[in-house]
Amino acid sequence: MTLYYRDDAVQVTSESIRSGGHVVALSDVTYVWHARGPKTLAVRGRVLGRGVLVLLLSLPPLVALICVVSLAWSAQERGNWKVTLIVLAAFAVGALALIPFLEIPLGWLDRSYERGSHVHELWVQHHGREDLLLRTPDALRFGQIYRAVQRAVEQQGDHP
């Protein structure tokens, strides 16, 4: 028996697919497909959180840019370039010093995109009926499971 995928809720082997209390023998599977399910509150919250995070990440640089431009404009009118250059240098050093701290929120943003914006469903046809085996909002996990099912079905077809 070959194990293609396993986590706490799903197991795909060369003999069967186990998910959510369902066990489907691979030899009985005639067709496998995926579909998008209805969006859940968790998925909508993830998309909303992603938008808020993008807004929070883009707002401080925008405010800093406005401050720098207004400072340069006022210094030009007064002819006080020395103070302006010192302040601009301080802003540049401060911006460079803050770059490493962007790693955490940008990591959150990456993981949010990896998990996707839709609910994914895995369906199988066996014994003449269609069964929903898995519904998950995690796109990365769904892709791993779906690919494991595809490999298992392909191997089943190669070795009758």
27-41, 101-115, 144-158: range with highest mean pLDDT: 144-158
Instruction: List 149's β-bridge partners, or say none.
Output: none
Q: Can you tell me which residue has the tokens 């497909």?
A: 33
Report how far residue 151's alpha carbon sits from residue 12's, in angstroms, rounded to the nearest whole number: 10
The two three-digit tokens of residue 106, written as one number: 């940008």
Closest CA to 120 of 110, 130, 104, 132: 132
Report how far residue 131's alpha carbon sits from residue 127's, in angstroms, rounded to the nearest whole number: 10
Report pLDDT digits (tens) over 91-129: 788 878 878 887 877 777 777 776 667 788 999 998 889
Report pLDDT digits (tens) over 46-95: 677 777 777 777 777 778 778 777 877 777 677 777 777 777 788 788 87
The verdict on residue 160 lying in a domain is: no
Residue 126's CATH number = 2.30.29
Do 53 and 103 fall within a single domain?
yes
pTM: 0.61
Do 27 and 47 fall within a single domain?
no
Containing structural domain, residue 52: 41-115
DSSP 29-74: EEEEEEEEEPPPHHHHHHHHHHHHHHHHHHHHHHHHHHHHHHHHHH
Do 94 and 128 fall within a single domain?
no
